Amino acid sequence: MRSVENFIIKPLNNNRYSNVKKVGDKDLILNTDIFSHQHVNRHAEVIAIPSVGETNIQVGDIVIVHHNVFRRWNDVRGKEKDSKSYYKDDMYFVFADQIFLYKHKNKWIANDGFCFVQPIKSMSDDIFNEDKEEPLVGILKYPDKTINDCGLKQGDLVGFRPTSEYEFVIDDKRLYRVLSHFITIKYEYQGQEKEYNPSWVQSS
Task: For residue 203, give the H/E element and its range.
Answer: helix 199-203
The per-residue pLDDT for range 173-195, each reduced to its tens digit, is 999 999 999 999 999 999 989 99
Q: Note the pLDDT of residue 60.
A: 98
> Nearest 5 degrees, angle CA 69-CA 75-CA 81?
40
Q: Which domain holds residue 40?
A: 1-111
CA distance 143 to 147: 6
In this structure, the answer to whether residues 35 and 83 fall within a common structural domain is yes
Q: For residue 188, what is the domain's CATH number?
A: 2.30.33
Look at residues 188, 71, 75 and name the one whose alpha carbon lies nearest to residue 137. 188
Are 27 and 123 contained in the same domain?
no
Share of residues in the chain with pLDDT > 70 (%): 87
CA terminus-to-terminus distance, the chain: 36
Q: What pLDDT score was predicted for residue 73? A: 84
Both 33 and 92 in a single domain? Answer: yes
CA 191 to chain centre: 28
Domain total for the chain? 2
Among residues 96, 111, 126, the one where a domain terminates is: 111
Question: Tell me, what amino acid is at 32?
Answer: T
Q: Which residues contact 162 (CB under 8 A, 6 or more apart)?
A: 136
Q: Same structural domain for residues 101 and 152? A: no
Confidence at residue 27, expressed as pLDDT on a 0 to 100 scale: 62
> 180 and 139 in one domain?
yes
Name the more confident of 151 and 78: 151
Same domain, 87 and 3: yes
If asked whether residues 40 and 133 sit together in one domain, one would say: no
**pLDDT score recorded for residue 151:** 96
Please report the pLDDT score of residue 66 as a whole number: 96
CB 127: neighbour CB atoms within 10 A? Answer: 6
Q: What is the pLDDT of residues 44-93, one digit of tens each?
A: 999 999 999 999 999 999 999 999 999 888 888 989 899 999 999 999 99
The pLDDT value recorded for residue 165 is 94
- Looking at per-residue pLDDT, the higher value among 21 and 145 belongs to 145
Q: What is the largest CA-CA distance in the chain?
A: 60
Q: DSSP labels for 98-166? A: GEEEEEETTEEEEPTTEEEEEEEE-----TT---SEEEEEEEEEE--HHHHHTT--TT-EEEE-TT--E
Q: Rounded to whole angstroms, what are the CA distances from 122 to 132, 137, 191? A: 5, 10, 13
> Does one domain contain both 47 and 69?
yes
Whether 81 and 144 map to the same domain: the answer is no
pLDDT, position 29: 53
Instruction: Give me the pLDDT at residue 123, please.
Output: 84
- The whole-number pLDDT of residue 170 equals 95
At residue 72, φ and ψ (nearest 5 deg) are -90, 170
Q: Which residue in 49, 155, 63 sits closest to 110, CA to CA?
A: 63
User: Which residue among 111, 140, 174 closes a domain?
Assistant: 111
pLDDT value at position 195? 94
pLDDT digits (tens, 9 = 90+) for 8-25: 999 998 887 675 566 577
Q: Are 42 and 65 in contact (CB under 8 A)?
A: yes
pLDDT score at 26: 64
Residue 127 sits in the same domain as residue 102: no
pLDDT tens across 115-132, in order?
999 999 998 777 666 678
Domain final residue pick, 70, 93, 111: 111
pTM, full prediction: 0.88
C-beta of residue 50 within 8 angstroms of C-beta of residue 7: yes
